[in-house]
Structure 1
Amino acid sequence: MKSVQDFSPNAFRAAYEQRGWTQADVAKAIGVTVGTVGRWVRGKGAPSPRLFSALAQELGVPRSRMLLPLSPDADLAVLRTRAGLRQEDVAERLGVQASDISEMELGTGRVRDEWGVTLSDLYDASLDQLAKAAEVTEGRWRAEFEAKRR
């Protein structure tokens, strides 16, 4: 399972400390070990999209507060995980199979025009950011494909 790539350990720590919580409090609230929370704080990992959503909810902060600024080379998977969503969640909202979302994120499938507004809303990203992420995703696939052909 993909973790939230733009997770900010420092912002996460600030969010739970502002509430007066310890790492143990966070762990108990979302059902993980204190060691897991400690790894996130040290930048040795990041929560899954599901746990990231749970963190935001339990801490009462917007997800964006615990994220680094969006990188210009963010791909579609980054937008999804920043939103705290799994591929299955997105597929359900679009009324498609999770494999359609997987292919879209691998660059072997495309973002269908009719998905644009829904994905923009789900990912809390502008249509321009969504289009740029789709270009990055496809560009990475093309580069990998070309590398394999050589």
Structure 2
Amino acid sequence: MKSVEDFDPAKLKAVRLAAGVSVADVAKAIGSSAGTVGRWENGRGAPSPRLFAALADVLEVPKDRLLVPLADNGDLATLRTRAGLRQEDVADALGVQASDVSEMEQGTGPVRDEWGVVLSTLYEVPLERLARARAVTEAHWCERFEGRRGK
């Protein structure tokens, strides 16, 4: 399962300390272990989208308070994980299979026009940012394809 790539360990620690809760308290509240949460705070890992969403809920902060700023080269998968969503969550919202979301994120499947508003809402980004992430995803696919062709 993909971790939240843009997760900021220092922000987690700062938010947790400001809330006055221990690592163990956070871990118990999200259904994880204190060791795991401690590793996240020390930059030796990042939460899954599900646990990331739970962290934001437990700490009562918007998800972006636990993230580095969104880079211009953020792709569709990055937008999804930043929103604390699994591929299955997106698939349910779109009425498709999780494999369709996987293909979309790899650049091998379509991003239907009618999905734009739904994805923009789910990912909490404007349509323009979604379009940029789609272009980045397609560029990544082209790079991988050209690399496999040996060019």
TM-score bracket for this pair, using the shorter chain length:
over 0.9
**CA displacement at 1:15 relative to structure 2:** 1.1
- Letter aligned with residue 135 of structure 2: E
CA distance in 2, matches of 1:101, 1:136: 16
Trace 1:80-119 onto structure 2 (pairs within 5 A). Answer: 80-119=80-119
- Letter aligned with residue 25 of structure 1: D
- Letter aligned with residue 92 of structure 2: E
CA distance in 1, matches of 2:103, 2:10: 33
**CA displacement at 1:110 relative to structure 2:** 2.1
CA distance in 2, matches of 1:89, 1:30: 18
TM-score under structure 2 normalisation? 0.97
- Letter aligned with residue 87 of structure 2: Q
1:49 is matched with 49
Hey, which bits of structure 1, 4+ residues long, moved more than 3 A? Answer: none
Q: Where do 5+ consecutive residues of structure 1 fail to align?
A: none
CA distance in 2, matches of 1:40, 1:83: 18
Q: Where do 5+ consecutive residues of structure 2 fail to align?
A: none
1:67 is matched with 67
2:141 is matched with 141
Per-residue Cα deviation, 1:91-130 (whole angstroms, up to 9, x for no partner): 0001111111000000001211000000000000111110
1:131 aligns with 2:131: yes
CA RMSD in angstroms comes to 0.7
1:10 aligns with 2:10: yes
CA distance in 1, matches of 2:86, 2:45: 17
Give the aligned length.
Answer: 150
CA distance in 2, matches of 1:110, 1:46: 29
Q: Percent identity?
A: 63
- Letter aligned with residue 26 of structure 1: V
TM-score under structure 1 normalisation? 0.98
